Structure 1
Amino acid sequence: MVKVRFAPSPTGYLHVGNARAALVNFLFARHEGGQLLLRLDDTDTARGRPEYEQGIYDDLRWLGIEWDEQARQSDRLARYEEVAEALKKTGRLYPCFENEDELAAKRAALIRRKLPPVYDRAALAMTAEQRAAAEANGKTPYWRFKLSDEAVSWNDLVLGGRNIKLATVSDPVLIRADGTPLYTFTSVVDDADMGITHIIRGEDHVSNTAVQIDLFRAVARAPVPRFAHLPLISGGDGEKLSKRIGSISLKSLRKDGIEPAAITAYLARLGTSKDTAPLPLSELAAQFSLSDFSRSPPRFDAAQLLGLNRKLLHHMPYEAVRDRLPEGAGPDFWESVRGNLDLLSEARRWWAVARGEITTPALPGAALPVIEAALASLPAEMTPQSWKGWTAAIATATGAKGKELYQPLRLALTGEEHGPEMAPLLSLMGSARAARRLSACVAASAHPG
């Protein structure tokens, strides 16, 4: 069975890049009838926070991404130690004692000689006595994995064929001097133990893949997973997205009123040739294929995301939003305003127009006759049908028509130049509120300032 994983670190809030990785893994699993594992890479205790972990759960559930299994690396430290001991016995994991200054000097010397700055494996030449002497002098070893002397090839499901000669790569550090296992190590052990069949992640991990394949072969008898690396999303300025760009974090998008279905519909096809469309997750999964993704970095287009959000809102039933509308807002209000919303958060402004207070505009003198005639002929009770007869009476009294008639009325009644159709909005507003606004507008226009 296909099994994939999404493995975030709880060191920050999820951004659209994280969400895309989670979504693609989820859609692939559902399309293949497989499983999705949510694994928290939570060994970075210095930067990890409970609120970030909870934020991961909240954001994924908000997007509709469900996982079939859950694990956390902090529960598996004994397992990492067990595998590390096995690698030490075979000589694949060896102790090193160089400090950062010594390593930097070695790299600089190689670069001056125009050679690749690859670790020279000097620690492997140390005798048992030399290692003991180093430890007696207060040095604590960190541990490197001895890479195979071969080339590693794989057929990336997005990027195509890849081949990396391990001789061009430094033996990776797997265990710090304080005993903390590093991502390269823990990730491979977890993927092997948990039966991961496909690893779908960002292109920034390509450089790790050859090393991880070599390590996977050393620690597991299971087949090496297949890999798919998605080109990283770029922002409007072409830069890579970062967890630190709060304006495009999921938390920020959620607060701004972007619908989760707009985000999933957008991200599911970002970087593919398929048109984005406001489709449910089930339909996106049915049509999903890794072969659709381009090898070029896609650009995050906020305007396109907003357009999808607009389409969703314009067709969204009242029941889907009732709990997020202002208190008292009913189906009639939603039907009258949804066609003018880009974000659901904008509904609050129109609720204030319908039932709250607005800033009284001062209109030019030429518009005053229209407002005065409107006040004089205002129906005692407003219904959606009242608008047509009322504006006809105002037109007869003033001779105004078109923009000269409707623009002053909209401004006086709503404080806005554009917005929802006036007939249903006026019905929600009621005659008494309309009268107060018209009177205030007459006063403000007659005595500006």
Structure 2
Amino acid sequence: MWTDTRPPAEMPKLFERGADVISLAGGLPDLDVLPLDEISAQLGRLVRLGGRLALQYTTPHVAKALVPAVADLMAREGGLADADNLIPTSGSQMGLTAVALALGSPGDTILTQTPAYPGATAAFRTAGLLPYAAAEDAEGLDPVELRRTVQELRSAGHTVRLLYTNPTFQNPTGATLAVPRRAAILAACRELDLLLVEDNPYGLLGFDGTTTTLFQALDPERVVYLGTFSKIFAPGLRSGWIAAPAHLRHDLARVAEIISLSPSALAQGALAAYHSRSGWDTLIDRYRDSYRERCALMADALDAELGTGTPWHWQRPGGGFYLWLRHRDRADAGPYARAAADRGVSVVPGGHFSIDGEHADGLRLCFSNVPRRKIAEAVGRLSAALTETPSEQREFAEVAG
């Protein structure tokens, strides 16, 4: 199996919890904002009036009733949703696997924005693709270095067709590529005949309500767009979509159908019903408010605990789910993550977001789901772990000394 190749296709354990563990690990949305009574009534009505259809297999298409909900979401960032070219997925993770299987061949190199979402690199490796870190500068992905890298890889005999990005409130850094840089990257992709894969779970979760124009809006024939309802509605429905260029629609749809056979008619019906009755504005605003407050609480606590005299630095994101800590001396953050776990707080070390160990000095903190009253306590426990020398490093120093 391709999963037997090195490096292995692994996912961090994000959603495990212990009795006294405060989890800053998994990117869970804050479902307290959902109007559950309203959703329950809509689901009950859907099952009562159309249950024989909603609970049955269905055709492998985005339901006609759901297309306006998708189009509404994409239009908020300038995107285009052509009903004929929408492919249903069970969230972005299935979309990533479908893209890798449909558009790549085993042994191909896929350029990847790093630090990278580990679910993406696991999907690529499982399909036999070889992730390769795309160079960045202070503004993000570097189009000049992109040209050089592709030319060097191709000269060495590698096949390079795809560039993967998570460009808005990126997982794990929270960074966003500016529109001029996006345009420059697309210009390089056209010159190099690269397809760009745009993975966009967080784009509508800017704390101030502003959005950034999608890559897909700038060049819909060059971009394969992955959308999901997991972060702006609920992940339990496992529903998302691919907005495909027309010339790739058949290949992507064929692979998606093989993976899932049939999308969930119940999930699509529930989402369509919610959008038709309530729209997205109120719910998205509630999510933004929740994440803005939690991010501020966590960033303020980090400033108080680690703001001076420590080797850790970070930037406050403008949206999304995550804060990204880096060690100024490039120390491996893995032992610090284990020390934090010993103190009852879980975080994800940067090695999980690496392709070849290049971000091992990072730690990802997720603020989206941790209870507000627990945030200061979690940061206090974490800071205690981050401001002492981990036992593994002490033991090494003693032996070396």
TM-score by length of 1: 0.20
Relative contact order: is structure 1 or structure 2 higher (C-alpha 8 Å, sep ≥ 6)? Answer: 2
Bigger Cα Rg: 1
More helix by share: 1
TM-score by length of 2: 0.22
